[in-house]
Homo-oligomer: A and B are copies of this chain.
Amino acid sequence: MATDKQVKIGIVGGTGYTGVELLRMLSQHRNAKLTMITSRKEAGTRLDAMFPSLRGRCDLSFSDTATADLTTCDVVFYATPHGVAMADAPKLVAAGVKIIDLAADFRFRDHTIFERVYKMPHSCPDLNAEAAYGLVELNRAAIQKARIVGNPGCYPTTMQIGFAPLIKSGLVDASHLIADCASGISGAGKKAETDYLFSETSDSMKAYNVNGHRHQFETAARLGELTSDKIGLIFAPHLMPAIRGMHSTLYARLNSKGLAMSNDQLQALFVHAYQGEQFVDVMPWGSYPETRSTRGSNMLRLALHRPQDGDTVMVLVAQDNLVKGAAGAAVQCMNVMFGLPESEGLGAIALSP
């Protein structure tokens, strides 16, 4: 057991939703020693003044990003816009500090895809080459020894966990995958934009970015590593009127090999794929995972369907976009990187109702 270890933690950019979620989880993590949290704009502000939910539970104030010395940390989480982590990475890595980036800087094995999708040059392609992709269930070994982890996007987590067993086994037409997904509004972050006002988003639903959401590129690239087939993925994100929660409805057409599988065999494939995983719940065949069954927890739940016993298999996936889809996954990576129990700090049961 490693429960005496104290990991010194820094957080850069903790004023958004993934920041406060990191704080919520790390405050209850027995091996986490929260050392500093920085903000460009909020230096000096007490965290619990910004997040009253932390009153009585967190005594820290924001440090100034410009002057904070992150090299004293064991690990630094980046809950920042894209581009910040890679700017700091060389110095921190040189100082022996590990990095977990919740933005996109290290999500792409091929940094030129990052550059094309995020429209900025990558400042440290060499470090990107060694970075691990932080989807623990599909990539645990690489994360264990990584110095840098690029935490996956929220949608890509659901799509990869859901499609991976089918693609790895070569059971579906990988060139015609469809992912119809919905996210709670917190996925847009804590931005002062009229689009995400209560009065603009409540009691309504809409699709967005169906042609070219950045998570499509990330997912397609990563799924492509699981097969020699060409990946074709339509990704249709929607905004739903919920604070948290992400629901992905995945459609894949079974190929001849897949059509030879019974429903029981498909179910067994998933049960086996995620056996022993604490944070993936393969529900009984034909179940309907609700996003609220994951609210505030690091659990992702999924269930299989095959409408009219036809040639299409559906995977329904639910998670909390801010936890398993962001901050929880990051803490899970930290636990793996430091040899801690993988569930440490992640014990919260979903808030129901």
Which residue numbers of A lie inside 8 Å of B, CB to CB? 17, 20, 24, 27-28, 51-57, 176, 178, 180, 182, 184-186, 190-194, 196-208, 210-212, 232, 234-236, 238, 240-245, 247, 249, 251, 253, 278, 281, 283, 286, 288-297, 299, 301, 305-308, 310, 312, 314, 316, 318, 347-353
The answer on a CB contact under 8 Å between A241 and B24 is: no
- Choose from B176, B190, B301, B307 the contact partner of A199 (Cβ within 8 Å): B190
Chain B residue with Cβ nearest A297:
B53
**Given that A205-B245, A318-B206 are contacting pairs, would A351 and B351 also be in contact in the complex, using a CB cutoff of 8 Å?**
yes
The answer on a CB contact under 8 Å between A249 and B243 is: no
For A194, A202, A281, A291, which residue has the most chain B Cβ atoms within 10 angstroms? A202
The answer on a CB contact under 8 Å between A192 and B194 is: yes
**A294 contact set on B, CB distance < 8 A:** 53
**A27 contact set on B, CB distance < 8 A:** 349
The answer on a CB contact under 8 Å between B198 and A291 is: no
Chain B residue with Cβ nearest A200:
B353
- Choose from B204, B208, B301, B351 the contact partner of A242 (Cβ within 8 Å): B204
The answer on a CB contact under 8 Å between A53 and B292 is: yes
**A203 contact set on B, CB distance < 8 A:** 184, 202-203, 242-245, 292, 295
- Choose from B53, B190, B192, B347 the contact partner of A351 (Cβ within 8 Å): B53
The answer on a CB contact under 8 Å between A349 and B194 is: no
- 4 interchain residue pairs of minimum CB distance: A204-B292, A53-B350, A53-B352, A180-B180
Given A202-B242, A205-B318, A207-B288: 9 more A-B contacts, CB < 8 Å: A180-B180, A190-B197, A196-B198, A206-B288, A234-B308, A235-B307, A238-B247, A251-B251, A348-B348
The answer on a CB contact under 8 Å between A55 and B241 is: no
Q: Given the complex of chains A and B, what is the CA–CA distance between A228 and B100 in angstroms?
A: 56
* A164–chain B nearest beta-carbon distance, Å: 20
* A327–chain B nearest beta-carbon distance, Å: 12
**Given that A198-B241, A243-B353 are contacting pairs, would A347 and B204 also be in contact in the complex, using a CB cutoff of 8 Å?**
no
**A316 contact set on B, CB distance < 8 A:** 207, 210
Q: Given the complex of chains A and B, what is the CA–CA distance between A57 and B343 in angstroms?
A: 12
Chain B residue with Cβ nearest A353:
B199
Chain B residue with Cβ nearest A205:
B247
**A352 contact set on B, CB distance < 8 A:** 20, 24, 51-53
**A211 contact set on B, CB distance < 8 A:** 286, 305-308
The answer on a CB contact under 8 Å between A186 and B353 is: yes
Q: List 11 A-B contacts (CB under 8 A).
A: A27-B349, A55-B281, A56-B278, A198-B243, A202-B241, A202-B242, A205-B240, A210-B305, A211-B286, A212-B307, A240-B240
* A314–chain B nearest beta-carbon distance, Å: 6
* A258–chain B nearest beta-carbon distance, Å: 15
The answer on a CB contact under 8 Å between B205 and A242 is: yes
**A204 contact set on B, CB distance < 8 A:** 242, 245, 290-292, 295
